[in-house]
Structure 1
Amino acid sequence: MPGENLTRIEAQERRAIVDTQSYEIALDLTKGAEVFGSRTVVRFTATPGAETFIDLIARDVREITLNGRSIDPAVAFADSRVVLDSLAAENELVIDADCLYTNTGEGLHRFVDPVDGEVYLYSQFEVPDSRRVFAVFEQPDLKATFQFTVTASEPWKVVSNSPTPEPKKHGDGSATWTFEATPRISSYITALIAGPYEATFSELTSASGRVIPLGVYGRKSLWQFLDADYIFDKTRQGFSYFEGKFDYAYPFAKYDQLFVPEFNAGAMENAGAVTFTEAYVFRSKVTDAVKERRVVTILHELAHMWFGDLVTMKWWNGLWLNESFAEWASTIATAEATEWTEAWTTFNAMEKTWAYRQDQLPSTHPVVAQINDLEDVQVNFDGITYAKGGSVLKQLAAWVGIDEFFAGVAAYFKKHEWSNTELSDLLTELETTSGRELSTWSKKWLETAGVNTLSPEIATDADGVITRFAIVQTAPADYPTIRPHRLGVGFYDVKGSALVRVHHVELDVDGDLTEVPQLKGIARPDLVLLNDEDLAYAKIRLDERSLTTAIDHLGDISDPLARSLVWGAAWDQTRDAEASASDYVDLVLRNIGAETESTTVRTTLGQLQLAANAYVAPEKRSATRERVAGALWELAQAAEAGSDSQLQFVTAFATAAATPAQWEQVRAVRDREVSFDGLEIDTDLSWQLLVSLAAGGLVSSADIDGALAADNTAKGGEFAAQAKASLPDADAKAAAWSSLIDSDDLPNTIVRTTALGFVHPAGVDLLGAFVESYFSMLLPIWEARSYQIAQYLIVGLYPAPLANLALRDATRAWLEGNREAAPALRRLVAENLAGVERALAVQERDAQ
């Protein structure tokens, strides 16, 4: 039986038979807390006499009628499919069913607010989950119009892709909303959001002259924290930028942005009805990194209205083009149209770091990935699809010229509006506007995997003058492609208290070795920075003198992008066991206090914690963790009052605390016995400190319950679950494990935060007892849980903090003994293994 999977071959075969015209979907949301009614009328053409299937995941199917002929659900419906035989040239299919609400963030998610008991619903359909709500040909190249009719509680707000109509009230507390049909779109970007949401409205005038209604929605209990005016402001800036650059007016009738509970991702590009995580509703102080990320996310989803929603990939191997384009477009729009002008520095610090990590896993793949089935695409929402693809598109835009790039994109939208495309369709337009041949570029950059490494090769005379400068390019043995790069080389010297760029050249690098004669005769600088200004996608190496300079003076570089590149180079050398983890710790602790870019600080502090917990040699680990936490405490005390860095250093200290004395400092801060000027111990910070105290064993489960009683909110519940799972005793760990594995009642966000607490590094000594249980649960969990929950458990519960030979060997043994397991499951486990193998190699280097 197919279960819930769908292969690409099946989708192609079905597309050859079927072409969809319209859906009429009637949903009844008044049937209680477990199920909702779903009645679908689908009109489609087909090859006469052919047989195919339509997708549906439902608890009960009451009626299947095809062209007036009744079909027995007991015969035709199984797993996630309804078999349709004896098709006509023109078909009308009616399916009436009861479908299940979920608490996994897939399909139609149902949430009860613990603050006031109100019920909130929202849909999440990408990749294959509209079939959890209505019967549908669930593949992106079977576009159709979608007309929703929704019966729900009369006081609710009901939102979909089309403007919300006036409801028809029934006099019994319910009402029905009948929406206009959408344009021809793919099923995964349809949407339904319903509940007693608060909302505020505005409008803008599109480049077409149309007035576009705007809405911002959120839960009642969070509404006071939702800064809708700022969101409208960024939205207007995005509209103006994209309509101008794309030369194509916004294609939908309205634009709503809805902040919804228990959301799995950052946001989702439903046409005209974008859903966002409530992490972007700031009830407590957040870092500038988070604020900027929200702006990038707002513009990312807006870019999708054109790239993804108006023009859509034929199959999920084109997912990268959707996401990479939105990632690139949102970053350039953020940098050029908003106050966040250093967005490309943020992109380097966060996105490229993610891309380089993903590109070195055994699961790496070409940007244009081979997607054989739905399970493949589920695990492909990764750093290649988003971050490497975005990096490569940045390079492509530079290669063809930014004006020519936008002109090609504009032509692409006009030619392919409301249809489905492949990569070649975009490259054709870019070749036309730029005059460049792009098939060779595409083969090297999009159709091969792996990241190149660029290293300087420098010779000097007795006076330190350069006699030869070359750039060596290498590639991993498994992915040996050598690629062309356009990049800069920067020379930096220490001058007084600053590390200043004194020379810069820009050149093309290709082949294994590129000589740079224009650098001969120049005094060797204190620091040589390859890929200065970050034009290329490649790891860069610092020579020994440059690394020494970086350790002493990184914070003295004035340009934030150059600093980010040096931070990244030092981290890459550490991860690749070419430099010691202890030296990386020194680099961070000496220089992070001078770093001004919030995302760079955030990323680097996360890497510092990984180095201290898993990368330094085991015999150094305890002392290093104590030293790191102590240094973070000093950095917090020295930080500017009320600054972004102050908040980051305090929270990083709480996470890193490793001794009773340090946890006592955490307690004193939380109890306000020790204060930092300008730092308020607000709700979320208090919880973060409590999680630290739980990991240190300074609070009990009852103390956590008391904190939850004082903040009985969804966010409070997440923190409480994390804190309880962090408690450093065997019973607490066993209880956390049982709550996740022995029951499937917990919602997605509680699953995620419980797993986060379970593997807290402070409790590493307790994790060894769960290694056998971990591998025993993999196959049953993969079979029994939804993809999202299974992924949270398989990745989140992996006892990675052990980072030892026993865990490596157990993981290898499972992979060897389960060669027939689902490829997507094996990929997740193999990625876990790769992290341990890398940690062991770095530990060995650090011990030298």
Structure 2
Amino acid sequence: MPGTNLTRDEAQQRARLLTVDSYEIDLDLSGAQEGGTYRSQTTVRFTAREAAATFIDLVAPAVREVELNGTALDPAAVFSDSRIALDVPEGDSVLRVVADCAYTNTGEGLHRFVDPVDEQAYLYTQFEVPDARRVFASFEQPDLKATFAFTVTAPEGWKVISNSPTPEPENGTVWRFAPTPRISTYITALIVGPYHEVHSSWEGGDRSVPLGLYCRPSLAEHLDADAIFAVTRQGFDWFEEKFDFPYPFEKYDQLFVPEFNAGAMENAGAVTIRDQYVFRSKVTDAAYEMRAETILHELAHMWFGDLVTMEWWNDLWLNESFATYTSVACQAHAPGSRWPHAWTSFANQMKTWAYRQDQLPSTHPIMAEINDLDDVLVNFDGITYAKGASVLKQLVAYVGMDEFFQGVQAYFKRHAWGNTTLPDLLTALEETSGRDLSTWSKKWLRTAGINVLRPEITVAEDGTMTAFAIRQTAPPLPEGARGEPVLRPHRIAVGLYELTDGRLERVERVELDVDGELTEVPDLVGRARPAVVLLNDDDLTYAKVRLDAESLAVVTEHLADFTEPLPRALCWASAWDMTRDGEMRARDYLELVLRGVGRESDIGVVQTLHRQVKLALDLYAAPDWREEGLSRWSAAALEHLNAAAPGSDHQLAWARAFAATARTGAQLDLLGALLDGGATVPGLTVDTDLRWALVQRLAATGRADAGAVEAELKRDATAAGERHAAAALAARPTEEAKAEAWAKVVESDTLPNAVQESVIGGFVQTDQHELLLPYRDRYFAALGTVWEARSHEMAQQIAVGLYPTLHVSQETLDATDAWLASASPSAALRRLVTESRAGVERALRAQAADAG
């Protein structure tokens, strides 16, 4: 519908016409416990540069009143297709809109959740990208900033939190919030319900910023407030120093909310975070590191995105890439950080995501061409976040960290409370660094695709290197991708490593600029040939790196023997990329991991290897060898579980890996015994979430029926328990269970977002190929209707989650191509399906390589 899919041209026309001054929003949420709809009244003051026709956005079941400058307009005449048509005069105007708006269970707009523990309703808003219009009438685009004053009526005793500090309620039920600074619609927020709260503050010089944490009371015992506040204060200290701009809002609340679609959202002064980050069971340190990165990412957004906001969504990277880079940099460099090796996690996880995304048919420049809202809704991807952050890391190496942050400081001071485009940032960085960034930005920000760097080494008979060069190639972009491959300038380090007493230690490091097809490195000529030559040491640039034959042979035997975690992570990532590209067989990747994972100390890397091995075996292994590989992996997982230090993170990680892959009768018997207490592993606590991992695997293998799942749900009668149970029921290996799960997701639209996601996750089981095969045709038959009928978040879950990824065959590719040719899908849906198709195509090539 044109009304819900705002185009860039429409947004530019509206921005040229209007300046928006303020919103006053009055919401009656007194009936939230019962659900349904609620009364929304919006009064917006704006100025038009000339008399013209325009519109304001609103998604609502009914519009009761529309009044422009005191004149009533007929809602039936002006409200259509999620827009209210307006003929505005030149000069100042006041618009008042009264509507019935709807609570949602999709994580969009004003989400309503009822906690099964206390049967109380909990509300929160999620507005990015275009969903403030589900709660109040708004000019829904980032460059029409205004002030926002919320008045909320809610049940007595509830908490009401917004962007401005929470006032004392009138008569216990009406909260009138002071106006916000000038911000965009999508970062306004309301969180309403009987939430549990904890308060503290950040002290900086003569300033004090109130800090708040909120969660549902049923999670309060698990809320580790001191740890969360510690990370938050670390971020305040580091960002205020590096940005040289005071935190721009009056307070900083972090609200852990249920059924959240993303990791978190940077609402100004009222950040919402998925409440799975309130850990109810033991997790590894990697989970705490990930949570800390999320906390710091959203705090960085208070400057990048909230204080200074992109003009339009093609500059989304100005928000997300900077928040990602600065959050990891804070973890790595802030004094006293618990995670000084954060760049290791970034290299092994975030950059792997970016490399995968950049090799899909949908690859795009970091500064993407966003023509409408449909484009941006599918653009929160590995390029916008991880590739963009990688490129910024390289830019910091190129211009210097001090010069980089001096440019950022000038940028904030120059554009505070405004909207910007790429040239605004580049101008500031050029001024402080003295570098001309025009070529750099053109090649890095405005082109797609990934480069490959390889060393070319000539060695004399005495073992000295007589020539050393770095060859850069730009592989063709995937079929269907826009643009042309391009060679880019890279700032990299070359590390030379020697094997001493069984350990690989760096003995030399050379940092240089690489540009063009071949770059000579004269500084290394005349040196003895080392055991390993590692390009892009310290992970300064964004490129696929390959080892020369001699280095690869040493790394294959000694990958776990690097004394530092980052070079290990880089080599692990390179091996995984080679496996995905069919340059390393899946069975050889398994051997590499089995040889080295037991000595890998970084728990985040270990858990990444667990996921990658399982994926390689499920999708990239030749079908006639797959079961042998899976058997070897499950046996190794059990062996490592028994050998791990009792109570350690590694023990927990291996317990989960074993639970995910146990397959023999004896292994499944052990899962059952761990569940009922008939067996124990010294130091391993089979707590609530680990119990569910065991139940789900037993259900997927036919060892746990519906009664067993229901019994486990009685032990854990929580929202999380309901999600786990839904997944376990959908995982059962029977035609009836699959039909029931399919009907709940595809043929009905009553499931909340989080439960739907769980059912899809349980439905798709990698060792149930034959059982799931009939659903390939059913997927394509239903997809168009689902996409048109469901909200974006719910439809995307289905489009991606139920695509027949496991059926790696030419028949799946043909079925996909036939659907794409006949269905005429929207650009957003076409992108999601072609990305999934590319995964099957890659898996076919990898399987052929593994068989060969």
Aligned to 1:794: 799
| Deviation of the 1:54 alpha carbon | 0.3
Q: How does 1:426-465 map to 2 (within 5 A)?
A: 426-465=425-464
Structure 1 residue 99 displacement after superposition: 0.4
Aligned residues: 842
Match of 2:830 in 1: 826
8 Å CA contact retained: 1:215, 1:255? yes
On the 8 A contact 1:555/1:563 being kept in 2, the answer is yes
What is residue 294 of structure 2 aligned with on the other side?
A: 297
State the distance in 2 between where 1:473 and 1:77 align. Answer: 56
Query: Which residue, 480, 485, 495 being the options, matches 1:490?
Result: 495
Amino acid at match of 1:69: T
Whole-Å Cα distance in 2 between the matches of residues 277 and 253 of structure 1? 23
Partner of 1:843: 847
- TM-score normalised by the chain length of structure 1: 0.98
Who is 2:234 aligned against? 237
Pairwise mapping of residues 81-120 of structure 1 onto structure 2 (< 5 A)?
81-120=83-122
Structure-1 separation of matches of 2:445 and 2:848: 35
Match of 2:176 among 172, 175, 178: 178
Identity value in percent: 58
> Which residue is equivalent to 1:625?
630
1:273-672 alignment runs, 5 A limit: 273-337=270-334, 338-478=337-477, 479-672=484-677
Q: In the alignment, residue 97 of structure 1 is paired with which amino acid?
A: A
For 2:660 and 2:233, the matched residues in 1 are separated by 38
Aligned-partner Cα distance in 2 for 1:651–1:132:
40
Show the counterpart of 1:698. Answer: 703
Distance 1:505 1:108 in 2: 54
Map of 1:248 onto structure 2: 245
The answer for the alignment partner of 2:191 in structure 1 is: 193
Deviation per residue, 1:710-750 (Å, 9 max, x gap): 11111111111111111111111111111000111101111
Q: Over residues 348-381 of structure 1, what are the superposed CA-to-partner deviations in whole Å (9 max), with x where a residue is unaligned?
A: 1111111111111110100000000101001000
- Residue type matched to 2:272 in 1? T
TM-superposed CA distance for 1:705, in Å, is 1.1
SS at match of 1:734: helix
Deviations 1:307-329 (A, max 9, x none): 11011010011111100000011
Q: Which moved more, 1:455-464 or 1:711-720?
A: 455-464
CA RMSD of aligned residues (A): 1.3
Aligned 8 A contact 1:577 1:841 in 2: yes
- Displacement of 1:674 in angstroms is 2.7
Residue among 256, 270, 274 paired with 1:259: 256
**Cα deviation digits, residues 425-479 of structure 1 (max 9, x gap):** 0111111111111111100110001110111223334454433332211112234
Residue 138 of structure 2, aligned match among 129, 136, 139: 136
CA distance in structure 2 between the aligned counterparts of 1:543 and 1:736, rounded to whole angstroms: 49
Query: Residues 762 and 16 of structure 1: is their aligned pair in 2 closer, same or farther, counting only changes over 3 Å?
Result: same
Distance 1:193 1:842 in 2: 47
Given candidates 732, 735, 738, the residue that maps to 1:733 is 738
- 1:62 is displaced (CA, Å) by 0.5
> Any idea what SS the aligned residue of 2:680 has?
coil
| Contact 2:54–2:88, Cα closer than 8 Å, also in 1 | no
**Contact 1:728 1:762 (8 Å CA) reproduced:** no
1:612-662 per-residue CA deviation (whole Å, 9 max, x = no partner) reads: 111011111111111111111111111111111111111011112233332
> Is 2:215 aligned against 1:218?
yes
How far 1:777 moved relative to its partner? 1.4
Change (3 A) 1:464 1:765: farther
Aligned positions of 1:120-159 closer than 5 A: 120-159=122-161
Gaps of 5+ in 1: none
How far residue 211 of structure 1 moved from its aligned partner, in angstroms, is 2.4
Give the Cα–Cα distance (whole angstroms) in 1 for the partners of residues 726 and 155 of structure 2.
32
Bigger shift: residues 823-832 or 504-513: 504-513
Shift of residue 700 of structure 1?
A: 0.3
Residue 774 of structure 2 aligns to a residue whose secondary structure is: helix
Deviations 1:391-438 (A, max 9, x none): 111111121111111111111111111110101101111111111111
Residue of structure 2 in register with 1:5 after alignment:
5
Contact 2:309 2:420 in 1 (8 A): yes
**Alignment correspondent of 1:757:** 762
User: Which segment drifts farther, 209-218 or 262-271?
Assistant: 209-218
* Bigger mean CA offset, 622-631 vs 179-188: 622-631
Matched to 1:318, the amino acid is D
- Matches of 1:637 and 1:182, distance apart in 2: 56
8 Å CA contact 1:547–1:570 kept in 2: the answer is no
Offset from partner CA, 1:144-187 (integer Å, 9 cap, x none):
00000000001100000000000011xxxx61000000010000
Q: Distance in 1 between matches of 2:326 and 2:609?
A: 25
The answer to whether the aligner puts 1:810 opposite 2:808 as a matched pair is no
Code of the residue aligned with 2:349 in structure 1: it is M
Number of the residue aligned with 1:38 = 40
CA deviation string 1:740-763 (max 9, x = no partner): 001111011111111111112122
Is the 1:493–1:526 contact (alpha carbons within 8 Å) kept by the matching residues of 2? yes
Tell me the distance in 1 between the aligned counterparts of 2:319 and 2:411.
Answer: 13
Question: Residues of 2 paired with 1:328 and 1:651: CA distance?
Answer: 30
The one-letter amino acid of 1:722's match is A
Assess if the C-alpha contact under 8 Å between 2:48 and 2:88 holds in 1: no
2:610 match: secondary structure: helix
Q: Distance in 2 between matches of 1:127 and 1:638?
A: 48
In the alignment, the residues of structure 2 paired with residue 830 and residue 68 of structure 1 have an alpha-carbon distance, to the nearest angstrom, of: 51
Rounded to whole Å, the distance in 1 between the matches of 2:777 and 2:655 is 36
Partner Cα separation in structure 1 for residue 758 and residue 792 of structure 2 = 17
Determine helix, strand or coil for the equivalent of 1:761.
coil
Shift, 1:55, TM fit:
0.3
User: How many angstroms apart in 2 are the aligned matches of 1:817 and 1:463?
Assistant: 65
- Look up the match of 1:73: 75
Paired AA for residue 822 in structure 1: S
| Partners of 1:216 and 1:228 within 8 A in 2 | yes
* Residue identity matched to 2:216: R
Distance 2:819 2:553 in 1: 42
Amino acid at match of 1:830: T
Q: Residue 37 of structure 1 contacts residue 97 of structure 1 at CA under 8 Å; is this kept in 2?
A: yes
Q: Which moved more, 1:749-758 or 1:186-195?
A: 749-758
Verify the 8 A CA contact 1:57 1:80 in the aligned structure 2: yes
| Cα contact 1:726–1:763 (8 A) shared by 2 | no
Q: Post-superposition shift, 1:3?
A: 4.4
The letter for the 2-side match of 1:491 is L
Equivalent-residue separation in structure 2 for 1:525 and 1:670 (angstroms): 51
Distance in 2 (alpha carbons) for counterparts of 1:844 and 1:23: 60
Where does the alignment leave 5 or more consecutive residues of structure 2 unmatched?
478-483
What is the Cα deviation at residue 72 of structure 1? Answer: 0.8
Taking a change above 3 Å as real, the CA distance of residues 437 and 544 of structure 1, as seen in their structure-2 partners, is same
